Chain A
């Protein structure tokens, strides 16, 4: 991995700086401020402060049930679609609160796209229609615009060469890894600024996983990526920053290399060395 901050010869971050990175990071894209989330009476996120840097890959790791998926579902307001789900605190996207009164969640979701754990292409739509769906169902009718967006998105998702001969075949007829890349292309087609990925490789074999990791590395220059993963090696391979969550709290957050090599918290070290989780 290239080490962004280390090459800039910065001082090692203090614990305070690591836990409140928005005091140290520049180019903030997304920042949560004292953010809580509940399902009914069950509080899943507790006073979470985390910051995501623009044009970087941030990995969120932690044992099952620690709130990783909930956290990213809060970053594009998908959390509230579950009944009895609620939140408090702020999530700043480019400095303005996406939970402020009068903000339309639909406009947020157009800026912050999402890729899910299991590939979920629209089963009755063709490859082309799947990728075009986001634009089309938001009113885009111009065929040349759609054609261009579909090709560009499929190319970004490393899928174009495999499907260009038959864009009319059903999206559901692709292999699992291809379906997941189709879902990534579908998310990219609406040109979001941030892409959230919820364990995008957990249903895939190692070769398909490698392709998606390569894809993530290639798009991060233009997008901000937040990836939830169960796989610590994956976090180490793809991310610039890593956040370790435990029981809904942010335990440690920092550059991926320093977090993996010199974790500050004992809990982080125990998790990374497989002592629990």
Chain B
């Protein structure tokens, strides 16, 4: 075989190995989606989505409180975690080239590697025991702590990709440092920052262990930020443990709802942030 055709062969081989690996990586994703849709779709109806769980052992009831709880929890977590995480990331890239920044970066990485159940136990000790009640607030705090290092890290990495020449260009126009950071650097890195936030949301929406220690789970709809609350991951866990076929079908249904919620948030945020910083002009 000539040298040239050997090289062409190697090129093809590498391409096919790459394609094969990509296909293999898709198998778990597709099979999970397939199972969840196959087993869960039949449970979905308005009553299932809106009513509270029924009596254990009797078919009927739904996951209304769990959906409500997950929306509330993730909402509170975003309010607490996203600004803090994005601002920390900005600090680390733009101003963190000093010993303080290095210490924060190190601690942030350590925090990112904490098992989530440990964070649940810590919040249980600090908040739940102190206030003598499981609560939505405790759950949202635990999830924020899980979310924070993920967003900080991804924001920092995205901002680092913005070339310094862009910062120079902005500073040389007499634009102040904070304006440069927010309106030029952050805008340039926007898609990376948003991706990081979405990954973090998806991650916390599916967390189960820390919630067991903080919001506990409940049969009832929302009754105050300082009371126990249900959430989809907890509901899925509880339903899956029950020995009744109807309960397991409901568990699949709840799993499907959770996946769809994450998907909707993902697509919605991407569409909402796709436009530019400014609508260019208002003139017709």
Contact = CB atoms under 8 A, between A and B. Distances in A.
Contacts of A109: 171-174
B172 A76 contact: yes
A122 B184 contact: yes
Given A120-B168, A123-B188, A143 B281 contact: yes
B171 A110 contact: no
Contact of B169 (A120, A128, A168): A120
B97 interface: yes
A190 interface: yes
B174 A167 contact: no
A118 interface: yes
Contacts of A122: 166, 169-170, 184, 187-188
Interface in B206-235: none
A92 interface: no
Interface residues of B, number: 27
Given A123-B188, A124-B187, A137-B179, A129 B170 contact: no
A256 to B, nearest CB: 26
A138 interface: yes
A184 to B, nearest CB: 12
B166 A113 contact: no
Contact of B168 (A116, A123, A133, A134): A116
A114 B280 CA distance: 24
Interface in B83-106: 97
Nearest to B189: A124
Chain A interface size, under 10 / 10 to 19 / 20 to 34 / 35 or more: 35 or more
A59 B176 CA distance: 29
A176 to B, nearest CB: 14
A275 B282 CA distance: 58
A187 interface: yes
Contact of A124 (B171, B190, B282): B190
Interface in B152-173: 163, 165-166, 168-173
B4 interface: no
B168 A137 contact: no
Given A116-B168, A125-B277, A83 B175 contact: no
A147 interface: yes
B174 A133 contact: no
B281 A125 contact: no
Contact of B174 (A81, A143, A190): A190
B283 interface: yes
Contacts of B173: 109-110, 113, 133-134, 137-138, 186-187, 190
B132 interface: no
Interface in A94-134: 106-111, 113-114, 116, 118, 120-126, 128-129, 133-134
Interface in B120-177: 163, 165-166, 168-176
B166 A78 contact: no
9 contacts: A78-B171, A109-B171, A116-B165, A124-B187, A126-B280, A129-B276, A137-B183, A138-B173, A187-B173
A46 interface: no
Interface of A: 76, 78, 81, 83, 106-111, 113-114, 116, 118, 120-126, 128-129, 133-134, 136-138, 143, 146-147, 167-168, 183, 186-187, 190
Contacts of B176: 106
A138 to B, nearest CB: 6
A118 B283 CA distance: 33
Contacts of B170: 122, 133, 137
A143 B283 contact: yes
Contacts of B179: 137-138
B114 interface: no
Nearest to A135: B173
Contact of B278 (A118, A129, A147, A183): A129
Nearest to A108: B174
Contacts of B276: 124-126, 129
Given A133-B170, A143-B281, A138 B175 contact: yes
A168 B97 CA distance: 36
A167 B280 contact: yes
A81 B166 CA distance: 13
B270 to A, nearest CB: 15
Contacts of B97: 83
A190 B175 CA distance: 10
Contacts of B283: 143, 147
B174 A124 contact: no
B168 A78 contact: yes
Nearest to B180: A137
